[in-house]
Amino acid sequence: MSVRIGDVAPDFEQESTEGRISFHEWAGGDWVVLFSHPKNFTPVCTTELGAVAKLKPEFECRGVKPLGLSVDKLDNHGTWADDIEETQGARLNFPLLADADKTVSNLYGMIHPNASDTMTVRSVFIIDPNKKVRLTLTYPAATGRNFDEILRTIDSLQLTDKHSVATPADWQKGDDVIIVPSVSDEAARERFPKGWTALKPYLRMTEQPAE
């Protein structure tokens, strides 16, 4: 099964470091970042889990719940958490699913059998409060994920959901945004009273609206 942008994120029940999780119930009305790992005690993934633990306040202030997944058994998640704290300076502070039976990995299409039975399970899914998948990313085993970019994408998604705008290349919070083509100039004057700069009729730049 392949989960695509716009799909409802499949529900599941799976054990985790914080008890058994029924996904849709656990997510509630929050955004979720679900990100997966091939197995415990892998070097790149150790750094990633530490990075997310340090960034948890940034996720929380955006109404986002991080949820990790490892295609490994629950009984050694605790030892790996100790390693993460020792080497990365941050204790695991969000649930890490134990997907040893690959239920969730297969449900979300995380495994790429032409490469390996588990080693390409390094996917990211951003899921909104309506349980819709809004972003998917898959990384190779040797390349660590950029969680600042994931936060930037969440900022963009939340802003563009609220206002009739899109974010340009390399946009950062506070930068100018694009008025979407479906908004007429007449409607734009009402929505964006500070005006805009029209680089082309279809490319109108305006200040980022207040959140």
pLDDT one-digit tens code per residue, 139-190? 988 899 999 999 999 999 999 999 999 999 999 999 999 999 999 999 999 9
Structural domains counted in the chain: 2
Evaluate whether residue 158 is within a structural domain.
no
Contact 24, 130 (CB under 8 A): no
Q: State the pLDDT at residue 117.
A: 63
**Could you give the CA distance from residue 208 to residue 126 in angstroms, rounded to a whole number?**
22
Rounded average pLDDT over 99-106: 93
Exposure on the CB side of residue 144, measured as CA atoms within 13 A: 14
Paired tokens of 181: 């083509």
182 and 113, same structural domain? no
Per-residue model confidence as pLDDT tens digits over 188-208 = 999 999 999 999 999 999 999
Contact 193, 184 (CB under 8 A): no
Q: State the pLDDT at residue 111.
A: 86
176 and 138, same structural domain? no
Paired tokens of 116: 């390996």
Q: Is 61 noted as a catalytic residue in this protein?
A: no
With 70 as the cut, is the pLDDT of residue 1 above it? no
127 and 43, same structural domain? yes
58 and 128, same structural domain? yes
Contact 121, 105 (CB under 8 A): yes
Can you give the three-state secondary structure of 125-183, one letter per residue? Answer: EEECCCCEEEEEEECCCCCCCCHHHHHHHHHHHHHHHHCCEECCCCCCCCCCEEECCCC
Contact 187, 204 (CB under 8 A): no
Per-residue model confidence as pLDDT tens digits over 18-67 = 999 999 999 999 999 999 988 888 899 999 999 999 999 999 999 999 99
Evaluate whether residue 156 is within a structural domain.
no
**Could you give the CA distance from residue 67 to residue 69 in angstroms, rounded to a whole number?**
7
- Domain boundaries, position 180: 163-206
**Could you give the CA distance from residue 15 to residue 137 in angstroms, rounded to a whole number?**
24
- Residue 199 CA: distances (Å) to CA of 143, 160, 179, 183, 205: 37, 20, 12, 16, 7
Evaluate whether residue 18 is within a structural domain.
yes
Confidence of residue 133 (pLDDT cuts 50, 70, 90): very high
Out of 9, 34, 45, 97, the active site residue is 45
Q: Give pTM, 2 decimals.
A: 0.93
Rounded average pLDDT over 126-147: 94
Evaluate whether residue 184 is within a structural domain.
yes
- Give me the CATH number covering residue 134: 3.40.30.10
With 90 as the cut, is the pLDDT of residue 120 above it? no
184 and 126, same structural domain? no
